Amino acid sequence: MKTVRTIAELRQQIADWRAAGQSVALVPTMGALHAGHIALVGAALALADRAVVSIFVNPTQFAPNEDLARYPRDEAGDVAKLAGAGAHLVWAPTVSEMYPEGFATRIVVEGAALPLEGAFRPHHFGGVATVVCKLLSAVTPDLALFGEKDFQQLAVIRQMVRDLALPVTIRGIATVREDDGLALSSRNAYLSADERYIAPMLYKVISEVARGRDPAEASEALLAAGFTKVDYVEVRDAETLVPFVRGSGRPGRVLAAVWLGKTRLIDNVATG
């Protein structure tokens, strides 16, 4: 498994695979890899001949007050995990490779990007869409895989790919959870022992909302359990993310974002 830094090296490798008639899957990541990412690589290997994993902590999706500087980074550890998982290529570009001097383009996303995370982090999905578009344009994969853990991100990427007719298939892969239900996330590393003890309540409570519990009451239960703040617990249409209408026959999704001390956790589950 090779690690390349530049788009030129990446494209050379992809061209060699294409010349051999091989299909390519991309798993975009920001590193600090855990079993959830490795599940994405496993799915990529099952669906394509070659699996490329990008590792890039994208500055444009963090607001100035967010955790860019302290976002966990461990490239050597990540590369070892990816080699063990059977990935074929790691693409770990520098910030100047992705955003060279004079870079002045940003994708504006609306629709599924506006509510929930979009209301609390208005800069976020524009940065995600811009970097994902560039990752897709550099790799030109047949398919790209994203975790359902970031469910709204997945909806926004599907919307962008559809709207811009990007020639790639997007696959969402089920969230990987700890035994106690906590969704795996690179940000779990920030949790203190006490916070880690409380954290699995999030999954328990949103699962109750999926079975019909009132979201406002669920928010109160989360605060009573020790969460510092609840940004939202909402039931939304699973594709458009407009408010869910029970009995509409449409798929629904419960989405939540909460704070435990200085750590913000998000999670989601399908409605029953």
Q: How far is the CB of 28 from ligand PAF (least distance, A)?
A: 4
User: Which residue in the block uniquely carries the two structure tokens 């853990």?
Assistant: 149
Two tokens, residue 234:
């909402």
**Of the listed pieces 25-33, 66-74, 172-180, 202-210, which binds ligand PAF according to CB under 6 A?**
25-33
Closer of 54 and 219 to ligand PAF (Cβ) = 54
Binders of ligand PAF in range 128-167 (CB under 6 A): 128, 131-132, 150, 153
Two tokens, residue 132:
């994902």
Closer of 219 and 264 to ligand PAF (Cβ) = 264
**Quick check: is 37 catalytic?**
yes
Q: How far apart are CA 58 and CA 38, in angstroms?
A: 20
Per CB under 6 A, does 168 bind ligand PAF?
no
**Of the listed pieces 63-71, 108-116, 127-135, 174-182, which binds ligand PAF according to CB under 6 A?**
127-135
DSSP per residue over 51-87, as a string? Answer: EEEEE---GGGS-TTSSTTTS---HHHHHHHHHHHT-
Closer of 79 and 221 to ligand PAF (Cβ) = 79
Per CB under 6 A, does 30 bind ligand PAF?
yes
**Of the listed pieces 24-32, 41-49, 96-104, 193-201, which binds ligand PAF according to CB under 6 A?**
24-32
Closer of 135 and 198 to ligand PAF (Cβ) = 135
Q: How far is the CB of 272 from ligand PAF (least distance, A)?
A: 27
Per CB under 6 A, does 172 bind ligand PAF?
no
Q: Which of 25, 41, 58, 191 binds ligand PAF (CB under 6 A)?
A: 58
Answer whether 128's CB lies under 8 Å from 153's CB.
yes
How many angstroms separate the Cα of 8 from the Cα of each of 4, 17, 121, 133?
Answer: 9, 15, 33, 17
β-bridge partners, 136: none
Q: How far is the CB of 41 from ligand PAF (least distance, A)?
A: 13
Answer whether 5's CB lies under 8 Å from 94's CB.
yes
Q: Which of 28, 36, 141, 172 binds ligand PAF (CB under 6 A)?
A: 28
Query: DSSP E strands: which ranges in the chain?
Result: 2-4, 24-29, 50-55, 89-91, 143-147, 169-173, 229-237, 252-260, 263-270
Q: How far apart are CA 140 and CA 34, in angstroms?
A: 25
Closer of 27 and 48 to ligand PAF (Cβ) = 27
Given 34, 37, 88, 123, which residue is catalytic? Answer: 37
Answer whether 91's CB lies under 8 Å from 78's CB.
no
Active site residues: 37
Write out the residues near ligand PAF by the rule CB under 6 A.
28-30, 58, 61, 128, 131-132, 150, 153
